[in-house]
Amino acid sequence: MGFITFILRVFPLYLLKIKPVEQGNNGFINFLPLSVLCALTIPGIFKVDDTDPFVGTSAGLTALLLVLWGKMPFFGVICLSVLVALIVKLI
């Protein structure tokens, strides 16, 4: 079953003949459904710290604002979100 699921997910990407990462092209990440990304991200935001849910919420909100701002690279969004989570945890 796992192999069949894998083939059903990967085969359409090969049919689209996705080009390697170029300037302004994120490869196959543009073809991932938003629901898959949300299913992977949202539980992680709320399970960062069981004692203080504001840690994950603040990091997630920071990432959302930085992505909506749109002028920061993806690595910068990750670093600043982790930094905000650490600061909120220490406070």
- pLDDT at residue number 43: 79
Regarding whether 42 and 24 lie in a shared domain, the answer is no
Measured CA to CA, the distance from residue 48 to residue 42 in angstroms comes to 10
27 plus 38 within the same structural domain: no
Indicate the pTM of the whole model: 0.57
Domain count along the chain: 2
The amino acid at residue 35 is S
Same domain, 48 and 85: yes
Tell me, yes or no, whether 81 and 50 share the same domain.
yes
pLDDT tens profile 7-47: 766 776 666 665 555 545 555 666 666 666 677 777 788 88
3-state DSSP assignment of residue 89: helix
Same domain, yes or no: 48 and 20: no
Q: CA 67, CA 74: separation in Å to the nearest integer?
A: 8
Domain limits at 65?
33-91
Distance from C-alpha of 30 to C-alpha of 22, rounded to nearest angstrom: 13
